[in-house]
Amino acid sequence: MVNHKVNHKTIELINSLKGKEKIKILFVCLGNICRSPAAQGVMEALVAERGVANRFEIDSAGIGGWHVGDLPDKRMRVHASRRGLELTHRARQVRPYDFGEFDMVVAMDDNNVEELLDRARTPEDERKIVRMTDFARHHAGAESVPDPYYEGAEGFELVLDLLEDSCSGLLDALT
Ligand code: 4NP
């Protein structure tokens, strides 16, 4: 079950993936040091918890290349670790090839969506782009996972709350 914000293109994409032996998901944000590596960590923990880790391949990447090779932001790692998540991803930039590699490219906000649409090579690539919060159920009104980089602790907590909600909605939709 997906919520009312999910458009028919996203529902078609989800339905086309349901029977697939392995589903490859790429989470994308601006810098790949706060939101998308946290999304990756949340989703990896969820699939492990539900015993379906072997059906998923999960990665993350950034629109920009400023932090390539870096661990996630220290603040993101601290807040995630309080929820039992260890974030060890090393930042990398999105590449056009990713659209061929992954089944779904999950953006954190509408700027990410626009940047991804610019990088998509074909209409098929474009169809793989979805918005993280479209799968949120408890935060049903959320339009984005807001960039926490210039925020305080509550910004990082909000990111994790939105990601736990949205990733659980996404996984339920896919399984
Ligand atoms: P993220 O946060 O997109 O959630 O990783 C950001 C991290 C760094 C920058 C922007 C956003 N930056 O401009 O360096």
95 noted as active-site residue: no
What DSSP string runs through 17-44?
Answer: HTT-SSEEEEEEESSSSSHHHHHHHHHH
In this prediction, residue 2 carries a pLDDT of 55
User: Whose C-alpha lies nearest to ligand 1, atom 3?
Assistant: 30
Spatial neighbors of 92 by CB under 8 A, at least 6 apart, are 32, 61, 62, 68, 69
In this prediction, residue 7 carries a pLDDT of 87
Beta carbon of 34 within 6 Å of any ligand 1 atom: yes
User: Whose C-alpha lies nearest to ligand 1, atom 8?
Assistant: 31
Q: Report which residue type is found at 55.
A: R
147 noted as active-site residue: yes
Average pLDDT across each block of 10 residues of the chain; the chain has 175 residues. List them in order.
73 94 98 98 98 98 98 98 98 97 98 98 97 96 97 98 98 96
DSSP bridge partners of 131: 107
Selecting among 34, 35, 119, 165, the annotated active-site residue is: 35
Structure token digits, residue 71: 């661990």
Alpha-carbon gap, residue 86 to 81, rounded angstroms: 6
Place of tokens 């339009």: 143
Beta carbon of 162 within 6 Å of any ligand 1 atom: no
Instruction: Say if CB 126 and CB 96 are below 8 A apart.
Output: no
In this prediction the pTM is: 0.97
